[in-house]
Structure 1
């Protein structure tokens, strides 16, 4: 039986082909020479984690599990608030059908902040990696559950060649082993199972001890408030990726600060 992830990936592939037809790969590649170098997020993440946690704050309009979350008419303004609150990076959802995102959101956020920007989407083709860099992304998300080993390796290597960092996302121990095989600097552990959309915080806390010390581990999903951030940090997370709690709370900068304070209290 097809999973939720399968359905998302089908739509992603259809939308990808439409964009590829409108903007050939050669056009994207020609735009790369006019861009400044991608920002390396790792020094900032390590510095933030040394005293607390690196917060990757997300521009997220909707989700498959909750539907519409927030209108977000000015993604750049929201991203600037995240940066003012102390976020180490901004994540921008660009998937259209289930999350209501666009590449225009990525463009606007990139223009609004000087901290690293993550393109969060369901990458299934090298075109999307080049596309991410052409729109100013410094990081890309690679979801192990949606990729075979060869494609995971190829996309990870392509991102590296373009100067970007990959956040390699896993949901269980087998996926973590596959992720570590490509030598990532960043591993994301998602409490949400993308095949069922169920959230279990123990997925994060159980897998964190398995991440090698030289790899930064980012806890994803399930953050409803500072107490969950503190729990993730106690379990070994260097970073947290938070979307829903930030876009629905009404005070994004203050919310980011509260996450940082809760992490510092347990370091």
Structure 2
């Protein structure tokens, strides 16, 4: 069983447990459920194009940084021009929680991506209830029909959709309603990184869709290479989070690569 398979099996149990404790009706009654959402498609136009990330650990890297607070980090990300911030909410494999989003929602004015493994409609109501603006759909663990149905549900909740793909076969998951398509430079099954593979796949995307290079961007050269190849946005987590002060590292990076 691959790591992705293990995560999905755990996620099914997690969602079932959550449903037994908090109803969708209760989620709809939360503080943030009716708040207006921020648009990543709009912030791409005015900011750096970088989706920064708050991530404590990962299955492939172990502990990345568990010494800093979400508010401290994401506030600096916003100050230095991040287009959005991705916040992991998976606990078992990534050390995240809903509190990581809840603790920052009232303090920043850029979109928040709830980064998790979305396999059930219930999770979309969760995302809305904690103040997320964007959800991630991972093609590797969903069917094209599920992507279409989940996209429709997300839009009914005023959430944007970032669809993540990694293979040519997953191009069939793209539908006209998806807001952005992310190409994961890292294969979720074996965690190998291949930037050229992502570029080749990007060239097969519909011309009118916003593209995001995800993961495995380890230095300024990687960023420039992908930008030159036409990517509209970049999701970067580990590169900043592995530093003692992720916000300062982001400021330094932006000053070097953004003209």
**Out of 111, 126, 130, which is 2:125 matched to?**
130
The separation in 1 between residues aligned to 2:249 and 2:162, in whole angstroms, is: 23
In the aligned structure 2, how far is the partner of 1:154 from the partner of 1:178?
11
Which of the residues 180, 196, 199 maps onto 1:186? Answer: 180
Alignment of 1:36-185 (within 5 A): 36-48=35-47, 53-179=48-174, 181-185=175-179
Query: Structure 2 unaligned runs (5+)?
Result: none
The structure in which a higher percent of residues are helix is: 1
Give the aligned partner of residue 22 of structure 1: 21
CA contact (8 A) 2:43 2:110 kept: no
**Structure 1: how far apart are the matches of 2:238 and 2:100?**
17
Shift in CA distance, 262/73, structure 1 to aligned 2, threshold 3 Å: closer
- The alpha-carbon deviation at position 177 of structure 1 amounts to 3.0
Q: Which residue, 218, 243, 246 being the options, matches 1:249?
A: 243
Q: Distance in 1 between matches of 2:176 and 2:9?
A: 25
SS of 1:187's equivalent in the other structure is strand
Task: Note the C-alpha offset of 1:142.
Answer: 0.3
Q: TM-score, normalised by structure 2?
A: 0.94
How many Å separate the matches in 2 of 1:46 and 1:214? 15
Alignment root-mean-square deviation, CA: 1.7
How much does 1:32 deviate?
6.9
Unaligned residue ranges in structure 1 (runs of 5+): none
Instruction: Extract structure 1 runs of 4+ deviating beyond 6 A.
Output: none
232-241 vs 248-257, which moves further: 248-257
